[in-house]
Amino acid sequence: MVYQHTIQSPVSFEGVGLHTGVRTKVIVRPGSPNTGVLFVRSDLPARPTIPARQDYLWDNRLATTVGHDGVTVSTIEHLMAAFFALGIHNAIVEVAGPEVPIADGSSTPFVTILQKARIVPQNVAWRTCTITAEIELHDGDSFVKLSPGKTFRLDVKVQFDHPMIGRQRILLDYSSRQFIEKICPARTFGFVEQVELLKAQGFARGGSLENAIVLDHQGVINQEGLRFKDEFARHKLLDLVGDLSLCGMRVIGTIEAYKPSHRLNHEVVRSLTQRQDCVLISMAGLTRADPSFDTRQEMTTAPHMLRAEKQR
């Protein structure tokens, strides 16, 4: 049985948002069992709360945004991947702005900060989503295939017509340690020729060589180069896990993705939470087949660098 966890004490950090360019402070506080990750817009008078759940997904253009009643928090996927990596299921995330800071473009700074808060167990079981039949999802030439398996396995492929990328594949039999060491350091990336267009559309206003891999026609222009030869595929896997965390469950099965996007990732999350013909959700020994397991109640109750400081 897997138990839920939270952090023992609050931690805070601040930084610039990748797309808004707004500098924002974030405080992460312990969360009660079955609440999941809750984002709070602490800069607004009413301090509106937005659960990090699939039914609050708001936008998927270049990032994952959750929202409620017109209030949003964007670019949450790297922080959510850090929560997933560390097994933190319940947390209150107070964000004094519209976007989570991008840090260095990876999840490693978030992992480092959250580890300082100390992770503690809660005496409540965590839900498990077991894939019982194949599901295929397509978006243009991109696709994701979910299939049964005895463990959580991720197989991600990307393909770009660029000499530094080409076709890359990363296969991961998930464990927290492997994910933290091999996937969390992988940074987001973009292309020089797209920068001005993105800025004109309201994106990438905070992007820089300090928080993203930037490529021109010939190669990477960041002075330090790549952290991994296949860093691009690894970051796509990072984004996928960050998005998958919005299903609020441990996943058992294999997920194969080719050129995944946030939009396609969100369709995976919806399938895992809604496809009763292809998934089995269980908690504390109960399943959907058990009359005492109320999935409606369960869904409503569960769900470049940063400067960190411990809150007193």
Mean pLDDT of 244-251: 96
What is the predicted pLDDT for the residue at 1? 77
Contacts (Cβ under 8 Å, ≥6 apart) of 85: 107, 111, 176, 179, 180, 183, 184, 241
Exposed / middle / buried, residue 140 (Cβ in 10 Å: 0-12, 13-18, 19+): exposed
Read off the DSSP letter of residue 181: H
Using one digit for the tens of pLDDT, what is the confidence trace for 81-138? 999 999 999 999 999 999 999 999 999 999 999 999 999 999 999 999 999 999 999 9
CB 204 within 8 A of CB 259: no
Using one digit for the tens of pLDDT, what is the confidence trace for 150-171? 999 999 999 999 999 999 999 9
Using one digit for the tens of pLDDT, what is the confidence trace for 40-54? 999 999 999 999 999
Q: From residue 237, how far is each of 106, 151, 154, 184, 257 by CA, in Å? A: 12, 17, 8, 9, 9
Residues catalogued as catalytic: 262
Exposed / middle / buried, residue 14 (Cβ in 10 Å: 0-12, 13-18, 19+): middle
pTM: 0.90
- Taken in order of first residue, the domains within the chain and their CATH numbers are 3-126+297-310 (3.30.230.20), 128-288 (3.30.1700.10)
Structural Rg of the chain based on CA atoms: 19
Using one digit for the tens of pLDDT, what is the confidence trace for 126-149? 999 999 999 999 999 999 999 999
The average confidence (pLDDT) of the chain is 90
Type of residue numbered 130: T
